[in-house]
Amino acid sequence: MKEFRNKLFRRLLPFLIIIGPGIIAGTADNDAGGITSYSLAGASFGYSMLWILLLTTFSLAITQEIGARMGLVTGKGLASLIREKFGIGWTTFVMVVLFVANTGTIAAEFAGIGASMEILNVPRIFSIPIATVFIYLLVTRGGFKALERTFLGLSIFYFAYLISATIVHPDWGAAVKGLITPSFQFNKGYLLMMMALIGTTITPWGQFFIQDYVVDKKLSKEDLKIERGDVFFGSFLTNFIAFFIIVTCAATLFTKGIPIHTAKDAALALQPLAGKFATALFAFGFLNASIFGAALVPFATSYVITEAFGFESGLNFKFREAPQFYGLFTFSLLLGAAMVIIPFVPLIPVLVVTQSINAVLLLPIFVFLYILSNDKKILGGYVNSKIMNIVVLLTLIGISAGAVLYFISTFFPNLFG
């Protein structure tokens, strides 16, 4: 028996060493803005938007695999490759786009922290400063490996949503039908929610993060097979959890016609319908996701931007060795917190609209990703397959079409009747 355990451990050891980037990058997409978007999608449109999750699962898996593969083969992050191939001008443009997108996302994370703590009657004027200090210490004091273990541990708590969905006894037949049967509505609300679901699943920062992560973890192309599995599992896991969030709200709030505006409203509305336990699980999952994202996105922002301009990046350096990295991390954290700590800042637009903006800001990043991942001078025999290129191009077309339709529905609401 002991020999069997030792043999099993030796087989699992390479996997245990390598896993992390795909799972963390995937589950981090289920942050405050994501959970709010999923909750609103279920409460407002029932099971009818689940098919978008099915499509974005494939897009997320392929685009994250491309980033991981480029990092494994080149040993460089996406920002470095953009600078080397396209020059400092285009790099600056992409970093500005990324910073704008990430600032909105960080604000959404803190809005989620504030909203989830308000369920416990703790005003955001108190909860957000405390959370800011906690997150700063969590990221800067633990080191890379400690932070990775923390994030992997936090990922487990997303299964609170699976339990919540089971408690409310949804119509599983309708859920499966919504997952595999596309439906569409030509109105502003539906199109905004569709863009939010795309933008919260496939994020601008996530495309840079996965590539930088495998580089910082010092993985190589020999690890590609295991890392590909890690990425695919992480992509599946993020939308697996999202599926249960939508199902929970569709089975309770949509069927009862209860309007909500945030994930906080969803948690509170569940109490008379499914009991305090379901409410507590939903609220806990929301707080966990918000803290997860509020720690990870500023870290990723600082890492990518300092890397892009040739400064030292990463938690393996001390503050005096990488002042730009730690300075930008602190600034991003404080800016995101400040944007929502002000009492008159509405949390709803911050949480949902930022996700839609993310989808639009993905477009220029995907163009660079497509060009670089097909460059044989950079990747040699590890360039994209035809299927991967098709998925990337269809994702680009889908996001562009969604943005155009939303624009039309906003300014020409009577065009579709």
Is the pLDDT reported for residue 15 higher than 50? no
Is the pLDDT reported for residue 107 higher than 80? yes
The answer to whether 175 and 50 have CB atoms below 8 angstroms apart is yes
- Residue 16 pLDDT: 38
- Residue 142 pLDDT: 67
- Residue 25 pLDDT: 62
Q: Averaging pLDDT over each range in 149-158, 329-338, 350-359, which range is the top one? A: 329-338
Place 278 in a pLDDT band, splitting at 50, 70 and 90: low
- Residue 334 pLDDT: 92
User: In the structure encoding, which two tokens stand for residue 264, read together?
Assistant: 């906080």
- Residue 167 pLDDT: 77
Of 15-19, 113-117, 124-128, 215-219, minimum mean pLDDT range: 15-19
Name the percent of the chain lying above pLDDT 90. 15
Mean pLDDT for 67-84 is 90
Distant-in-sequence, close-in-space partners of 381: CB < 8 Å, separation ≥ 6: none
Name the average pLDDT for the chain. Answer: 79
Q: Bigger pLDDT: 29 or 37?
A: 37
The answer to whether 37 and 196 have CB atoms below 8 angstroms apart is yes
The answer to whether 166 and 248 have CB atoms below 8 angstroms apart is no
Is the pLDDT reported for residue 8 higher than 50? no
Of 120-134, 189-203, 271-285, minimum mean pLDDT range: 271-285
Of 77-86, 372-381, 402-411, minimum mean pLDDT range: 402-411
CA angle 120, 135, 117 (to 5 degrees): 10
- Residue 10 pLDDT: 43
Q: For 347-391, how does the pLDDT look when each residue is reduced to its tens digit (9 = 90+)?
A: 555 556 666 777 777 888 889 999 999 999 999 889 999 999 999
The residue assigned the tokens 């109490």 is 271
Query: Rounded to an integer, what distance in angstroms lies between the CA atom of residue 33 and that of residue 26?
Result: 14
User: Is residue 343 packed enough to be buried (19+ CB in 10 Å), middle (13-18) or exposed (0-12)?
Assistant: exposed
User: In the structure encoding, which two tokens stand for residue 300, read together?
Assistant: 């990723």
Of 57-71, 145-159, 390-404, minimum mean pLDDT range: 145-159
User: In the structure encoding, which two tokens stand for residue 400, read together?
Assistant: 């562009």
* Residue 271 C-alpha from the chain's centroid: 27
Is the pLDDT reported for residue 60 higher than 80? yes
Q: For 217-267, how does the pLDDT look when each residue is reduced to its tens digit (9 = 90+)?
A: 777 788 888 888 888 888 888 888 889 889 888 888 787 776 666 666 666
Of 44-48, 276-280, 386-390, minimum mean pLDDT range: 276-280
Question: How is the chain split among helix, strand and coil, in percent rounded to 5?
Answer: 80, 0, 20
Place 40 in a pLDDT band, splitting at 50, 70 and 90: confident
Query: Rounded to an integer, what distance in angstroms lies between the CA atom of residue 156 and that of residue 258?
Result: 30
Closest CA to 148 of 287, 242, 16: 16
Closest CA to 293 of 105, 129, 63, 127: 105
Is the pLDDT reported for residue 57 higher than 50? yes
The answer to whether 136 and 333 have CB atoms below 8 angstroms apart is yes
Place 4 in a pLDDT band, splitting at 50, 70 and 90: very low
Q: Averaging pLDDT over each range in 29-43, 75-89, 130-144, 231-245, which range is the top one? A: 75-89
Q: For 281-302, how does the pLDDT look when each residue is reduced to its tens digit (9 = 90+)?
A: 667 777 877 887 888 888 888 9
Phi (first) and psi of residue 373, to 5 degrees: -75, -5
Name the percent of the chain lying above pLDDT 70. 77
Query: Rounded to an integer, what distance in angstroms lies between the CA atom of residue 408 and that of residue 303?
Result: 37
- Residue 17 pLDDT: 41
Task: Please report, as a single letter, which amino acid is at residue 267.
Answer: A
Domains of the chain in start order, with CATH, are: 28-408 (1.20.1740.10)
Counts for the chain of helices (H) and strands (E), in that order: 19, 0
Helix (H, G, I), strand (E, B) or coil at 402: helix
- Kindly state the DSSP code that residue 252 receives in the 8-state scheme: I
pTM across the whole model: 0.80
- Residue 13 pLDDT: 37
